[in-house]
Amino acid sequence: MSNDVYILDAVRTPIGRYGGGLAGVRPDDLAAHVVSEVVRRSPGLDPARIDDVLLGNANGAGEDNRDVARMAVLLAGLPPSVPGATVNRLCGSGLEAVIGASRAIALGDASICVAGGVESMSRAPWVLPKPEQGYPRGHETLHSTTLGWRMVNPRMPQEWTVALGEGAEILADRYKISREEQDRFAYRSHELAARAWTEGAYADEVSPVPGTNVERDESIRPDTTLGALAGLKPAFRADGTVTAGNSSPLNDGASALLLADRAGADAIGRAPLARIVSRAVTAIEPHLFGIGPVAAAEEALRRAGIGWADLDVIELNEAFAAQSLACLAEWPDLDPEIVNPQGGAIALGHPLGSSGSRILGSLAWQLQRRGGGRGLAAICIGVGQGLAVVLEA
């Protein structure tokens, strides 16, 4: 018999634009901020009682090297006795970290954990592979680690290693999703995100990073219009439909959740925001990564013993409008109006390692403000995977 696992708190940084207001902050410092903040916000928590800190990170090639979770523990001023581990499931890394921590608590291996994720795409370095022999005579190539495939194994089928945006184009073709539908979806994301900030919906979960001037998510464009979106050129195919406007941007940010079993929650003195009901991970062909959440969400619902009609809120990470709309096409019984009611990653941003924990934390806060209910968080993952978690409050 497993223990119930509760989300007691969730906090994140504002999400910075690529080269924007958080570009000057190291990723380990972004991570340390949310870890220290989620601890500070629970005065009844003795930091020495934290059994583990798990953080997701999709890069790990720069200042986020050497186990950024452990670096965050030390930089946050937690006792050195608190462990930390970094996990990588690309875009789903933050959600994977929460899933891993929740499993440890469910099995009784831990009582209190902090889990989340971090990414600074602005500060992702270029990397230079070591030559196969010393003193090469030819030119060497620097590879950007910001996003996507690099140093691809030649044994990998080419159809699997297309650019992420080309994967979105493939789904737009397969599901007959028009440019107009994608732009309307993107416009809705910006409109809802701007409204949520105006109404104070993000006040409980966002904590600005000291030393920066970023108070809100920087990528939101409250003044965008369907006409402006329609005027953008395709980004991946000359005759394509996927643009910078209906895709998520490159971003910087971090997020953290405080998880506990019932004994841990009682010791901390916090009423839970929500309970983790079920989790699921699935996989699909790499170039179809965008519909990775489809099977994961369906499996998580099955394990929870509920259906689409039982959900009140869904947080679906918006890597691309085409990708999100393809998922919705596979879920005909789902009311699309309950999906991302506070905007999604197209507007808010997609700092890879943090996005999964960001959507789960936001979902928990939304359920708490509603006075209860059920919700699902799902995310697509590059190279063809999907993750989903069901919450109940």
Please give the positions annotated as active site: 91, 350, 380
Going from the C-alpha of 327 to that of each of 41, 172, 286, 319, 353, the distances in angstroms are 36, 11, 15, 11, 21
Q: Which two tokens stand for residue 383?
A: 């190279």
CA atoms within 13 A on the CB side of 320: 29
Closest of 90, 85, 169 to residue 380, by C-alpha: 90
Q: Which two tokens stand for residue 90?
A: 């690309």
What are the DSSP E strand ranges found in the chain? 5-12, 16-17, 52-56, 84-87, 112-120, 126-127, 143-144, 251-260, 274-283, 313-316, 374-381, 385-392
Q: Indicate the helix (H) or strand (E) that contains 302.
A: helix 292-304
Q: Which two tokens stand for residue 107?
A: 């099995």
Taking only Cα atoms into account, the Rg of the chain, rounded to an integer number of angstroms, comes to: 20
Q: Which two tokens stand for residue 312?
A: 């009140």
Give the DSSP letter of residue 288: G
Report d(CA 182, CA 320) in Å as an integer.
8
Q: Which residues pair with 315 in a beta bridge?
A: 377
Report d(CA 109, CA 295) in Å as an integer.
29
Report d(CA 300, CA 252) in Å as an integer.
29
Roughly what angle, to the nearest 10 degrees, separates helices 68-75 and 27-40? 60
Token pair 């799902």 is found at: 378
DSSP string, 179-241: HHHHHHHHHHHHHHHHHHHHTTTTTTTB-PPTT----S-TT--TT--HHHHHTSPBSS-TT-S
